[in-house]
Amino acid sequence: MIIKVCGMRDAVNIRQVESLGIDMMGLIFFPGSSRYITCPPSYLPVKAQRVGVFVNEDSATIESLARAFALNYIQLHGTESPEYCLSLREKGLKLIKAFSVSSPADLAETEKYEGLCEYFIFDTKCEGHGGSGKQFDWSILSHYRGKTPFLLSGGISPESIDDLKNFRHEQFAGIDLNSRFETAPAMKNVEKLQRFIKEFKK
Ligand SMILES: O=C(O)c1ccccc1N[C@@H]1O[C@H](COP(=O)(O)O)[C@@H](O)[C@H]1O
């Protein structure tokens, strides 16, 4: 199972969290986020894959930041169209497309993105674009019949362990952890993450 920790910014915290053996680390390039990162910290992950999170950003900015931060994946967390995804893919970028979920109808949207993304992320529908800290009803995902593997996201916390252990889906590829492990925006509680990851991997 893939473990992604998102919304990192501080070099020391990045190094500590990476040492927990996670697979992906997210950096948020959305100015509206309290986790917004503007310049490269003195340490960036080398073992965990670097994921840049963007919300309805233009392609020149995405390309430029992908180069500057040596990003492995581009996470699109807005209303980016399949055509836009294709254009980024044709530039050699690997994509993760996020979808806000509150009902089975939201999953129908994913069909247009099949074959364009390495992964989907299913997140809680909220006022903003992400980082709500709220879990959605994962049973809705039984309506997802696509072939693209997905990461489960939205308010995952230590209290989610039992739900995670009971969650089954053929395309379930991993989890995305963010605000419920923070001591302050973009600062993760390393001990809390460590305990959770140990329990999750059991
Ligand atoms: O975290 C943010 O500030 C954020 C802002 C804009 C788009 C995405 C954002 N984060 C993503 O939100 C989900 C869920 O986070 P949470 O666990 O509910 O806090 C996660 O995929 C982040 O990548």
Number of domains observed in the structure of the chain = 1
Residue to probe by mutation, ligand 1, list 37, 76, 177, 178, most atoms within 8 Å of CB: 178
User: Residue 146 has what pLDDT?
Assistant: 97
What CATH code is carried by the domain that includes residue 70?
3.20.20.70
What is the 177 CA–ligand 1 centroid distance (Å)?
A: 8
Q: Which atom of ligand 1 is nearest to the CA of 78?
A: 7
* pTM for the whole structure: 0.96
Range of 104's domain? 2-201
pLDDT of residue 5: 98
Average pLDDT value over all residues in the chain? 96
| Token pair listed for 51 | 């994921």
Which whole number is the average pLDDT over 48-55? Answer: 98
Q: Ligand 1: distance of its center to the CA of 99 in Å?
A: 11
pLDDT for res 127: 83
With bands split at pLDDT 50, 70 and 90, how would you rate the model's confidence at 131? confident
Percent of the chain with pLDDT over 90: 95
Q: Identify the H or E element spanning 163.
A: helix 161-166
What ipTM, to 2 d.p.? 0.97
Residues 131-166 as b or e (16 or more Cβ within 10 Å = b): bbeebbebebbeebeeebbbbbbbbbeeebeeebee
